Each structure stands twice: as structure tokens, then as C-alpha cells.
Structure 1
Amino acid sequence: MIKRLSYQEIDFEKYNQCVENSIQKNFYCDKETLDFLCKNWELLVYNDYEAVMPIPFTKKLVFKVVDMPLFCQQLGVFSKENNTVINQKFLEYLNTNYNVINYQFNHENRFESLTTKKNYIIPVQEYAFLRRKKYFKGRKSTVKTAQYLEFKEVFISDEILEFTCDNFKGLEKQSDLDFFIKYLFFLKKSNKLKMFGSYFENQLTNITILTADSKSFSLLGLINNEALKEHNGASFLIDRILQENIENKSFNFMGGSIRGIEVFFKSFGSELQEYQVIQNSKKDIILNCLKIS
């Protein structure tokens, strides 16, 4: 039986135990992360927290609208076993009882009826084998020619924040960039932030911003100084991070649906890892609101 719980009704001790022991566990299902990223969220629970499904939402007039918040890639069903029958019950409950603009399941959840998005990962492996056998020929060459650059771990400072604000691409609104900067401070406080920079003659050419845990790095941002792009700092940085960490931590590129970016990720020998999504237009939402109401 699936129950719908408001935030105030959630037993967070049971919730944390469920997600911690789940085979689908990821960074986004942590209570603290959800609390920071989501304006509002509630929970679907199967039986006595045998499986859980966080639901982020915003309020549009009198309706709740499900929409993934910025910087949150995958939620979905979390449980000890990836039971396709139970997962389908969650999907049916979501579609029947919510107005969904965008909801993204984790890569372990599988459904017959949903579309997919692309993500690319590099599992833990020997770096020498990865570079020799899996790097694209052109990427090997680019990395080799950029070895004159200096590699440093960097930390939140006036210089790094100024570089980020001046060069970050992909956010349309200033408020989104402001939220991203706050997110960096949240990750730092949570000990989940890692940043590395490449330098040419003491000039910062690129920054990689990663979320980190004991088993993996996930790419949150790869920021380029367009005036210094001929130095190939992005390729240099990714390669050096892999060189120093891939034998102990997997690397998650956190995306890959845009063709040029997809090719860049694949050129490091990454593997496709798809996840499924629900996406509806505003017209679909209006019709569904009328149906549910």
C-alpha cells in the first residue's frame, strides 16, 4: 500500500534508514540535500518504509505541480530491492494523483512507458587501461599537449567565486546563479564539495566543480574561460582528476543529452547510463489539473 505523506508527517529516522540501505541510493535523496534544493517536498511510502519516493513540488495557484528543482538530476523509488511491480505502483500513483511537469527517476528504476535521458559514467578501474584503451584518439592527443598547465585543488574564495560568476554558462536568470553560489557553500559545509583548477602562467583557465562522497565524484560544473580556451584546460582537468582518483572513485558526468557535450564525455571512455523521466507540457498540466480536481 502506498501512502502520501506531507513533510511534517515523515518519520525521518525510517526514511533515512530506507534510503541508506537502498540499492538506488544517491546524493539527491539525502534529507539535507532535498531540504536545500526543494522549495517543498513530500513523500510516497510503500508499507512501513519498505520503499520511498521523494516528490518535489511547487504551488501554482491552488494546485501542487511536481517539478525537479535546479541541480537535482535523479530521484525516483528507493528500496532494498529494485522491485519492478512496486516501482510501477509508485509510477501509477504519481500519474494519478499529481500534476507532473518534470520528474526524473534514478537509473535503477525501469519502466516500459517512459522516455529516457542520457548520463555518462566512468566506473572504478585502472587509469592506465582507461587512457590507453578507452580514450578517443583525439582526446589522448589533446590531453598530451596540455600537460604544461598547472593543476591545483581550489577552494571557495573571492577569486574562485568571481571566475564562476563571470564564466558559468547554462543558467538563464541571475537568481539561478545566485542559488548556485549558495549551493556551493551548502556543499562545502556538508563536506561534499571538491573543486580543481587549471592555470596557465598563474591565470585560471578552467574550474571543475564536483560533488564528492567516499565512492564517487559527480560533475556539477565545468567552467571555462573562453579567452584561454586554446589551452584545453577542460580536457586537462578531467584527465588529471581521473588519473588521481579513478582507481578508487567512479566519475559521473551528470548528463550528456546535448550532442557536443555527449561526445566530450564519451571521449574519456565513459559508459552510457540512461535514466527515465516524465515530462509534460503546460497544456498537459492544465488538462490534468482539471481531471484531478
Structure 2
Amino acid sequence: MIRKIRYSEIDFDKYSACLESSVQKNWYARREVLDELSGNWHILVLNDYEAVMPVNIKKKYGLNFVHMPLFCQQLGIFSLFDDPQINGEFLIFLKNNYRIFLYCFNHSNSFTTQIENRKNYIIPISDYLLLKRKKYFKGRKSTVKWSQHLIYRELQPDQTIKQFITENSKGISKYRDLEKFKNYFDFLYTNNSLKLCCAYLNDQLISLAVLISEDKQFSLLSLINDKKFKDENGPSFLIDQILKNYIHEKTLNFMGGNIRGIEVFFKSFGGELKSFPIIENKFMKKFS
């Protein structure tokens, strides 16, 4: 039986054990991460924590509804085995008991019914030279080769890095969203889960990759560029350097790709499509 469990009533030992043993395990379902990104979340549970599903609640227009926390790509159902029938039961429970703005399952969740999907791209652990030779697009190889005059550095966060983020985070338009990004940035650093990869032109920082670092995976939280140096191809240089240094031991999760230009960029490094199911109320989206 599926039931809702409020945050204050969650058995976090059982919740964490379910996540750790699950085939769908991901970063965003962890308690400490959801506590950071969400102001109000609880879980749906099958029986005695045989499967769990975190749900974030947001208030808008005076109503509570399900939405994804900012900077959180995928949640979904976590269990020892992925079962489309059980996933369907969670889906029905969600639809019957909540107003849904947006809910993103994870790429390991499958369903018996057709559900809308979003694109994501991942490069699995690979041999870098083989990856570059066989899977890089021809144009990407040329761009990477041309950008070798740049300097690669890995840095700790400081005021210079934060100022660069403030001045160049064009994709984060709202002030409060930028502040939340900075808070999440600090959270990752405090929890030893942040890696900063930088591209320099001489002594000038021109591109910054903000990565979530896990044991076996990097996730690209943000790729920030100084548009004055667009022709230097800092993003291509950075992704290539990250792959060169780490793809033999860690997967690279690009964290999205529905926008055509971004999708092609990820694919051009050999990114493999890993779509994930979503439920979205497009009518509500028009008024968000």
C-alpha cells in the first residue's frame, strides 16, 4: 500500500537505506540535498519502505502544488528493482492526491503507459582517447584542438569565483534564484561535493564549470562563460579537459539537453541520451 509520510514522521534510517540499495540511486533524493533545495518536502512510501518517492511542495497563487526544487533535475521512485507496475501505482497516487505543476522521475523509472520525457545526456566511464577518436563530432575535435592555447585550472571557491558567477550567470535571471545558486554552491563545498574547473586566457578567467562531485560521477551543475571571450571556445576546452582527467573513473552527467543547441553540444562529446519521464501541467506553466 502506498501512503504519504510527512517530513516529521519519516524514518530517515529506512529512507536512506532504501535509497542506497536502489537501482535508481541519485544525488537529489538524499535528505541533506532536499533539505537544502526544498523548503517543504515529504515522501510517498510503499509498505515498509520497499519503495520511496520524495515529493516537493511549493505554494503559489495561495495553493499547494507539486513542483521540482530549483537546481534539482530528477527525483522519482527508488526501489531495489525498477517495477513498471509499482511505478504506475505511485503515478496514480500522485495524480489523484496532488495538484501537479512539474514532477520529474529519474531515467531508471519505467512505466507501462506513455509519459512525456525530457532529454539528458551522460558519458559513461570510458577510455578518453577512444572516446575522443570515435565519439567526438568532427567539428568538436577541431574546436578542442583550436582551444589548446587556454590554461586549465581547478580552484577552491573564493571571492573572485563568486564575482565571476554573479557577473556572468545569464541563465539565472532572478536575483533570488542567483542567491539560491550561491547558497547551494556553498552547501556543495561544505559537503566536499564541489569541483570547480576553470579555463583561463593568460591570467583572465573566461569559463567556469561547476560540478557536483560524487564517488563515481560528476554532474554539470552550471557552465558559466564570459561572453566577451566567446570566440576562445572555453566551454569546449573545459569539457574536454574534464573528460581527459576523469572519464576513466567517473561518469559525466550533463544535466539536461532539451534546448537544441545545448543538446548538440553535449552529444558532440559522445554524450548518450538518457531520457527521464515527467508530468507537467503546461497550462499552469503559462502563468508561472
TM-score for both structures, normalised by structure 2: 0.97
SS in 2 for 1:208: strand
Give the equivalent residue in structure 2 for 1:144.
Answer: 145
Instruction: Tell me the distance in 2 between the aligned counterparts of 1:87 and 1:119.
Output: 20
Note if 1:37 corresponds to 2:30: no
Instruction: Tell me the distance in 2 between the aligned counterparts of 1:139 and 1:84.
Output: 38
Give the equivalent residue in structure 2 for 1:12.
Answer: 12
Instruction: Count how many residue pairs are aligned between Structure 1 and Structure 2.
Output: 286
SS in 2 for 1:244: helix
Contact 1:194 1:209 in 2 (8 A): yes
Note if 1:123 corresponds to 2:124: yes
Q: Percent identity?
A: 50
CA offset digits 1:185-244 (Å, max 9, x no partner): 000011110011011110001000000111000000001111111111110000000001
Instruction: Tell me the distance in 2 between the aligned counterparts of 1:163 and 1:172.
Output: 15
Q: How has the CA–CA distance of structure 1 residues 237 and 285 changed in structure 2, closer, same or farther, with 3 Å as cutoff?
A: closer
Q: How has the CA–CA distance of structure 1 residues 37 and 136 changed in structure 2, closer, same or farther, with 3 Å as cutoff?
A: same
Contact 2:82 2:108 in 1 (8 A): yes
Instruction: Tell me the distance in 2 between the aligned counterparts of 1:227 and 1:90.
Output: 48
User: Could you tell me which amino acid in structure 2 is paired with residue 83 of structure 1?
Assistant: D
Note if 1:52 corresponds to 2:52: yes
SS in 2 for 1:76: coil
CA offset digits 1:105-149 (Å, max 9, x no partner): 000112223100000000001000000000000100110111111
Instruction: Tell me the distance in 2 between the aligned counterparts of 1:64 and 1:255.
Output: 27
Instruction: Tell me the distance in 1 between the aligned counterparts of 2:284 and 2:76.
Output: 24
- Superposition deviation, residue 284 in structure 1: 9.7
Q: How has the CA–CA distance of structure 1 residues 154 and 284 changed in structure 2, closer, same or farther, with 3 Å as cutoff?
A: closer
User: Could you tell me which amino acid in structure 2 is paired with residue 193 of structure 1?
Assistant: L
Give the equivalent residue in structure 2 for 1:206.
Answer: 207
Contact 1:18 1:49 in 2 (8 A): yes
- Superposition deviation, residue 63 in structure 1: 3.7
SS in 1 for 2:114: coil
SS in 2 for 1:207: strand
Instruction: Tell me the distance in 2 between the aligned counterparts of 1:264 and 1:175.
Output: 29
Give the equivalent residue in structure 1 for 2:257.
Answer: 256
Note if 1:220 corresponds to 2:214: no
Give the equivalent residue in structure 2 for 1:153.
Answer: 154
Instruction: Tell me the distance in 2 between the aligned counterparts of 1:262 and 1:233.
Output: 17
Q: Give the 5 Å matches for 1:1-293.
A: 1-60=1-60, 63-111=63-111, 112-282=113-283
Q: How has the CA–CA distance of structure 1 residues 60 and 222 changed in structure 2, closer, same or farther, with 3 Å as cutoff?
A: closer
In structure 1, stretches of 5+ residues that fail to align are 287-293
Residue range with higher mean Cα deviation, 276-285 or 69-78: 276-285
Q: Which runs of 4+ in 1 moved over 4 A?
A: 282-286
Contact 1:121 1:252 in 2 (8 A): yes
User: Could you tell me which amino acid in structure 2 is paired with residue 65 of structure 1?
Assistant: F
